[in-house]
């Protein structure tokens, strides 16, 4: 899309909710009316939003928040009052979400009874002592109130309503500014909401408030007037986060030096999409040495894993990610040992790759797609943004020189230079993929030479757009939701389009699971986690019940349901016709790839064919098949042991007992327990051999 979300929860994927852990508020003890303004900066300093916080003389706080990036974003108005302990006494927020869904949420606490109602849920709870309501769709002002309330609590813990406990610890204190304009600010690490810590910069003193929130490589939210300090704070925060991440890897990545024998495993043949007989797989120094019949392997090994007849897969490949430094643990716990990054800040991604290769991060192996966008008011500005062919060629040259195997073209790219840019990239040996630029159809980019198209909506828009349809707006979602229901998949235009994809060898990266938001209603659990929601912390469960589209009535909802069903059917028809499919997510790390594979089975693939999209196909079209994608001697030892048989029931892909990435072993149960997720299968541990 790219999502660039700072949270692993789709319910927190809007900028308002994603930044709620970076909340902004005026001091609790302010006795006079005042207004504070904050700005949101992206892409090296471009302002993409603001928040204005106004406190009235009576203590009522009003918040106006707007954030627009990549043609979408929330607009929210919030009002709250505070109790004596600094927590919400009353709270209300109204507006629209990132994708246009209505937001209307309220909370009151009176006589020890908390009551709340949102578009997704409502509840009533007795509260004894302190309790801070955690809004589903609040502005970034909400958690700053909690930060201040936390600063007044001797135990450093703040119970959350309806569930959870928020804690924070200081990381470091620094001076910002110069001369007469100087201020001390402190970096805080907050835990208790989401699956990873959140870092936020706050003022110091008796009543701290948030000074800046930074999601490195994406957004800098900072008090107006202090923008020049943002880059320095980002660098300091990245260093502090790096220390925590390195310690996490030290605890959870178990060295498997020397030789490791995986005994009695049923090996999945990803090239031919079939499950083999029980085998022994010998690994040495992170490479597969041999695959032999079970019991025949006599080579000495330093460690042994008794697979007990379980299924052994090549490490899974997520072909559509936007890599963040905190994603690695959830990825490895879900068996994802490789990802293809489909759009990121170039400097940030290069640093993540260096840190991962140096052993400072838990991280899948990364294959980068170079992001290439055109200049417009809607531009997504990760990677290079160009306005002419010379600029496009210069960007392609940089990606080719830095080892990128492909580029990804985005929504605002100028159609006048598209074919020449594709030809130039091909001349440099790069694959070309992407969205369909505005005012074009998918058939146009196929004719221009695209090797791959991202997202099911970009494919289906082929049948709905005109020369004046601006798909840089929310139209790229609502058109597909509204019109696919009426599309005849047996019609000549659909059959001809699929035939053209086959003729040109175009790969599709549907990200079907991501687009289930097109028909998810408020109050319904996201299909991505619906089957396993009871494994997740309560705050994640609650956030995943938030719908994102404006679905005003049952008739609209039913139409959107039927439209999504046809999106799934289209993928099945394309696959049956011979269109190559890769499995990508662009959504909640650690859970979405499994749902994507389930949808492929619903589309008509066998479970083994679905597994092939996330193993052999992923490596093949990322051009790393010589190194991974199959369990073959000489390749990297990226292996996943499943406590079940996903070739019969694709849902078993969640039941991982052991993950090997080169010379490091990860136990999914161990990672999940560390971040508050109930494990899906007991670990199968490697043991030293008797000498």
pLDDT for position 22: 36
pLDDT digits (tens, 9 = 90+) for 251-294: 999 999 899 999 999 999 999 999 999 999 999 999 999 999 98
- DSSP bridge partners of 454: 509
d(CA 494, CA 492): 5
d(CA 630, CA 633): 9
pLDDT digits (tens, 9 = 90+) for 298-329: 667 999 999 999 999 999 999 999 999 999 99
d(CA 331, CA 328): 5
**Range of weakest confidence among 9-13, 188-192, 344-348, 542-546:** 9-13
d(CA 281, CA 269): 13
What's the whole-number mean pLDDT along residues 13-30? 38
pLDDT at residue 5 greater than cutoff 80: no
Mean pLDDT of the chain: 92
Count of Cβ atoms closer than 10 Å to residue 360 Cβ: 17
pLDDT digits (tens, 9 = 90+) for 55-101: 999 999 999 999 988 878 899 999 999 999 999 999 999 999 998 99
pLDDT digits (tens, 9 = 90+) for 524-560: 999 999 999 999 999 999 999 999 999 999 999 999 9
pLDDT confidence bin for 482, thresholds 50/70/90: very high
pLDDT confidence bin for 691, thresholds 50/70/90: low
CATH 3.40.50.11540 corresponds to the domain 257-314+629-690: no
What's the whole-number mean pLDDT along residues 235-262? 94
What's the whole-number mean pLDDT along residues 437-455? 98
d(CA 532, CA 507): 30
Cβ 381 vs Cβ 70: under 8 Å: no
d(CA 363, CA 323): 9
pLDDT at residue 25 greater than cutoff 60: no
b/e 54-88 (16+ beta carbons within 10 angstroms → b): bbeeeeebebbbbbbbbbbbbbbebbbebeeebbb
pLDDT for position 613: 98
d(CA 324, CA 7): 10
d(CA 364, CA 380): 25
pLDDT digits (tens, 9 = 90+) for 109-165: 999 999 999 988 999 999 988 899 999 888 888 878 878 889 888 888 999 999 999
- For residue 661, CA distances in Å to 354, 365, 421, 607, 669 come to 17, 9, 36, 24, 16
- DSSP bridge partners of 36: 53
d(CA 263, CA 310): 10
- DSSP bridge partners of 17: none
Cβ 130 vs Cβ 84: under 8 Å: no
pLDDT for position 15: 38
pLDDT digits (tens, 9 = 90+) for 399-443: 999 999 999 999 999 999 999 999 999 999 999 999 999 999 999
d(CA 522, CA 535): 21
pLDDT confidence bin for 4, thresholds 50/70/90: very low
d(CA 681, CA 679): 6
What's the whole-number mean pLDDT along residues 382-397? 96
Nearest Cα neighbor of 60 from 77, 39, 40, 75 is: 77
Work out the burial of residue 231: count CB atoms within 10 Å of its CB; fewer than 13 is exposed, 13-18 middle, 19 or more buried.
Answer: middle
pLDDT above 90 covers a percentage of the chain that reads 81
**Peptide bond just before 345 cis, omega within 30 deg:** no
Cβ 189 vs Cβ 171: under 8 Å: yes
Cβ 115 vs Cβ 108: under 8 Å: yes
How are beta strands 198-203 and 687-688 bridged, if at all? Answer: unpaired
Q: What is the DSSP string of 588-610?
A: STTTHHHHHHHHHHHHT--HHHH
Domain boundaries, the chain: 34-252, 257-314+629-690, 316-611
Helix, strand, or coil here: 293?
Answer: strand
pLDDT at residue 19 greater than cutoff 50: no
pLDDT for position 198: 85
Residue 435 tokens, joined: 């969205």
Q: Indicate the DSSP class of residue 3.
A: -
Superfamily classification of domain 316-611: Metal-dependent hydrolases (3.20.20.140)
pLDDT for position 207: 84
pLDDT at residue 2 greater than cutoff 50: no
pLDDT digits (tens, 9 = 90+) for 576-621: 999 999 999 999 999 999 999 999 999 999 999 999 999 999 999 9
d(CA 194, CA 189): 13
pLDDT at residue 10 greater than cutoff 80: no
pLDDT above 70 covers a percentage of the chain that reads 95
What's the whole-number mean pLDDT along residues 653-674? 97
């Amino acid at each position: 899309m790219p999502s660039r979300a700072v949270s692993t929860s789709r319910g927190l994927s809007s900028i308002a909710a994603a930044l709620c852990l970076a909340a902004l508020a005026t001091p609790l003890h302010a006795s006079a009316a005042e207004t504070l303004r904050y700005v949101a900066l992206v892409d090296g300093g471009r302002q993409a939003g603001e928040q204005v916080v106004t406190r009235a003389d009576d203590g009522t706080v009003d918040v106006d928040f707007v954030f627009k990036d990549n043609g979408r974003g929330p607009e929210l108005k919030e009002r709250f009052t505070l109790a004596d302990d600094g927590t919400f006494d009353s709270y209300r927020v109204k507006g629209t979400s990132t994708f246009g869904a209505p937001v209307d949420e309220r909370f009151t606490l009176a006589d020890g009874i908390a009551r709340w109602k949102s578009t997704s849920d409502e509840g009533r709870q007795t509260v004894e002592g302190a309790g801070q309501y955690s809004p589903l769709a609040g502005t970034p002002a909400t958690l700053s109130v909690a930060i201040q309330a936390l600063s007044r609590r001797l135990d450093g813990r703040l119970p959350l309503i309806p569930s959870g406990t928020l804690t924070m610890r200081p990381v470091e204190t620094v001076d910002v500014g110069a001369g007469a304009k100087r201020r001390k600010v402190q970096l805080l690490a907050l835990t208790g909401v989401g699956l990873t810590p959140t870092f936020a910069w706050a003022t110091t003193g008796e009543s701290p408030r948030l000074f800046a929130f930074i999601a490195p490589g994406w957004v800098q939210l900072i008090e107006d007037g202090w923008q020049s300090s943002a880059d320095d704070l980002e660098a300091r925060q990245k260093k502090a986060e790096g220390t925590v991440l390195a310690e996490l890897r030290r605890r959870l990545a178990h060295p498997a030096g020397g030789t490791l024998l995986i005994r009695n495993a049923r090996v999945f043949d990803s090239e031919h999409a079939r499950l083999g007989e029980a085998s022994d797989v010998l690994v040495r120094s992170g490479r597969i040495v041999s695959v032999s019949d079970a019991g025949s392997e006599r080579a000495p090994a330093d460690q042994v894993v008794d697979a007990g007849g379980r299924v052994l897969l090549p490490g899974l490949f997520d072909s559509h990610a936007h890599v963040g430094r905190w994603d690695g643990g959830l990825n490895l716990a879900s068996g994802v040992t490789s990802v293809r990054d489909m759009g990121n800040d170039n400097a940030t991604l290069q640093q993540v790759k260096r840190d991962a290769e140096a052993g400072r991060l838990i991280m899948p192996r990364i294959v980068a797609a170079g992001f290439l966008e055109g200049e417009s008011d809607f531009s997504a500005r990760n990677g290079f943004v160009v306005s002419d062919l010379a600029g496009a060629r210069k960007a392609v040259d940089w990606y080719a020189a830095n080892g990128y195997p492909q580029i990804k073209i985005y929504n605002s790219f100028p159609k006048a230079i598209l074919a020449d840019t594709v030809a130039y990239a091909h001349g440099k040996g790069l694959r070309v993929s992407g969205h369909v630029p505005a005012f074009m159809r998918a058939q146009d980019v196929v004719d221009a030479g695209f090797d791959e198209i991202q997202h099911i909506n970009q494919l289906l828009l082929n049948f709905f757009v005109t020369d004046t349809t601006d798909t840089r707006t929310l139209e790229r979602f609502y058109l597909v939701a509204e019109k696919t229901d009426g599309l005849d998949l047996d019609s000549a235009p659909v059959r001809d389009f699929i035939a053209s994809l086959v003729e040109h060898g175009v790969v599709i990266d549907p990200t079907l699971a991501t687009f289930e938001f097109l028909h998810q209603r408020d109050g319904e659990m996201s299909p991505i986690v619906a089957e396993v929601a009871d494994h997740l912390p309560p705050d994640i469960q609650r956030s995943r019940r938030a719908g994102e589209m404006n679905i005003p009535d049952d008739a609209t909802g039913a139409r959107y349901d039927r439209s999504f069903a046809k999106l799934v059917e289209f993928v099945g028809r394309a696959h049956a016709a011979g269109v190559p499919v890769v499995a990508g997510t662009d959504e909640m790390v650690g859970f979405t790839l499994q749902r994507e594979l389930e949808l492929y089975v619903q589309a008509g693939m066998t479970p083994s064919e679905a597994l092939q999209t996330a193993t052999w196909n992923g490596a093949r079209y990322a051009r790393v098949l010589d190194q991974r994608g199959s369990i073959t001697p000489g390749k990297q030892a990226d292996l996943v042991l499943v406590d079940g048989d996903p070739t019969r029931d694709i849902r078993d892909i969640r039941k991982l007992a052991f993950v090997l990435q080169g010379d490091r072993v990860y136990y999914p149960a161990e990672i999940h327990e560390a971040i508050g997720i109930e494990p899906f299968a007991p670990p199968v541990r490697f043991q030293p051999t008797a000498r």
